[in-house]
Amino acid sequence: MLAPPVVWLGVLYLAALVLLFVAAFWKVDSFTGDLQHVWNVDNFTHIFQSSTYRAIALRTIGIAAAVTITDALIALPFAYFMARIAGPRTRAMLFVAVMVPLWSSYLVRVYAWRLILAHDGALNWALHGIGLPSVSVSYSNWAMWIVFSYIWLPFMILPVYTAIERIPDSLLEASRDLGARGARTTRKVVLPLALPGVVAGSIFTFSLTLGDYITPKLVGGTGSQFIGNVVYDSVGVANNIPFAAAYATVPLVVMAAYLLLARRSGAFEAL
């Protein structure tokens, strides 16, 4: 039963990854772009010593975390409404409503956001209409935060919904019967049971943000490079796959730590 997935991922995918990461210890002839199979750790020393690469890694991780928290906060009440308050018809409609954005091209949705956030865009137009001062969020880290939160929101809503849907009514009723008020029931019963869903969703939102390079390119400003941008640029320029692979170990380590943490908290087992 296990053989096919293990062969696929273990042999095909891991082999591909190893092939790539071994290159992190090689170097490249800067002009011809030929790989030189000389074992060295220059790429790693360069990354650790340069404040630029540190800042880029911290920015990427920080925004990925902010996006994950934002999505969790948006998704929890929404998923609760969807799972426990909406009737079957409304729930079906909400389910479709969450899926539809996933089907409309990611790139085109990012483009739509550019129009909304632009200096003379829809947002400032609306703010003007109700007599508020305009905001200047276009092409900045704020814009990236908003757009990423938007793009990956469905990936948070769906697992959270599944988790909340599975909470038996009887548990909530018991909590109420025992005298717990709404807020207390939420804190003591709903949130702990919804947590596995949030963790599952956060793996998507966090890792998808961590690995993106197109959204920073399209809506980011001057100080908006992500790890993915550096990796992409390194591949294109001078074909520096060793440096790209070395820098790519940063998200690899971050995700490994994140998955371990998720497992430690016990939430992973309950997934």
Give the CA count within 13 Å in the CB-facing half-sphere of 18. Answer: 7
202 binds other proteins (CB under 8 A): no
CA distance 226 to 207: 13
CB nearer to other proteins: pick between 41 and 90? 90
Residue 225 CB, shortest distance to other proteins, in Å, is 6
111 binds other proteins (CB under 8 A): yes
Residue 39 CB, shortest distance to other proteins, in Å, is 18
Q: Are 262 and 199 in contact (CB under 8 A)?
A: yes
Residue 250 CB, shortest distance to other proteins, in Å, is 10
CA distance 20 to 17: 5
Q: Which of residues 139-168 bind other proteins (CB under 8 A)?
A: 139, 150, 153-154, 158-159, 162-163, 165-166
Q: Which of residues 176-195 bind other proteins (CB under 8 A)?
A: 176, 182, 185
- Which of 67, 244, 246, 267 forms a contact with other proteins (CB under 8 A)? 244
Residue type, 42: D
CA distance 151 to 114: 13
Mark 204-223 with x for binding to other proteins (rule: CB under 8 A) and - for no binding: x--xx-xxxxx--xx-xxxx
Q: Which two tokens stand for residue 51?
A: 């404040």
242 binds other proteins (CB under 8 A): no
What phi and psi, each to the nearest 5 degrees, are found at residue 35?
A: -75, 135
Q: What CA–CA distances, in Å, run from 227 to 30, 98, 252?
A: 21, 29, 11
Q: Which of residues 16-75 bind other proteins (CB under 8 A)?
A: 16-17, 19-20, 23, 30-34, 50, 52, 55-56, 74
Q: What CA–CA distances, in Å, run from 6 to 1, 2, 10, 56?
A: 9, 6, 5, 34
Q: Are 200 and 71 in contact (CB under 8 A)?
A: no
130 binds other proteins (CB under 8 A): no
Q: Which two tokens stand for residue 250?
A: 């940063």
CB nearer to other proteins: pick between 63 and 196? 196
- Which of 49, 85, 130, 179 forms a contact with other proteins (CB under 8 A)? 85
- Which of 80, 145, 148, 152 forms a contact with other proteins (CB under 8 A)? 80
